[in-house]
Amino acid sequence: MAKLDLFRFVPFRLNRLAVEVSSALSVEYQERYGLDIPEWRILATLGFRVEPCSAQYIAHCTRTHKSTISRAVTALMKRQLVERVENADDRREFALRMTRKGKALYEELIPRLLRREQEILCCLSAQERRDFAALLGKIENSLDLVQTAKDAGVKDGY
């Protein structure tokens, strides 16, 4: 008889691990700063890139649905953490960027999240962390989840 041990089944393990890790991190961005995951992803994308970028771009490269990003942008603008400027070249889209207030929050939040990540990975040696990152990279690659430079020009959908 065919059997499957859920606890050795990689898809299940990834799911459970992701949920657990997310909930460990949400203590920081959710409870402390009132951000949800999509909102945090927007700030993370804007903070990492030098140039402002469109909602569509964020949706694509974080693999988050554009409607979810749209709602999160609205919320962030209400809190004046993010602002958008019209794009003269293409008036359908807006360039998003963090406000001074948004940047200040980002500056506070990042070290906290990096510390949490280290706590989660503290059970691994430095070499093991590199190995783990490399293995994740291979799987991402094979699933076409990598972020490439040309992705900046990617279109609708996700």
Partner DNA sequence: TTAAGATAGTCGCATCTGCAACGATCTAAA
Partner DNA sequence: TTTAGATCGTTGCAGATGCGACTATCTTAA
List interacting residues with a copy of itself (CB under 8 A).
1-22, 24-25, 37, 41, 44-45, 47-48, 62-63, 106-107, 110-111, 113-114, 116-117, 120-124, 128, 131-133, 135-136, 138-143, 145-147
The entry of DNA, a copy of itself, none near residue 74 (CB within 5 to 8 angstroms by kind) is DNA
Number of residues that bind DNA (CB under 7 A): 26
Least gap, CB of 66 to DNA (angstroms)? 5
The entry of DNA, a copy of itself, none near residue 55 (CB within 5 to 8 angstroms by kind) is DNA
Helix axes 55-62, 66-78, angle to 10 degrees: 120
DSSP 53: B
157: left (phi over 0), alpha (psi -120 to 50) or beta: left
Q: Transcribe 103-124 into DSSP letters.
A: HHHHHHHHHHHHHHHHHHHTTS
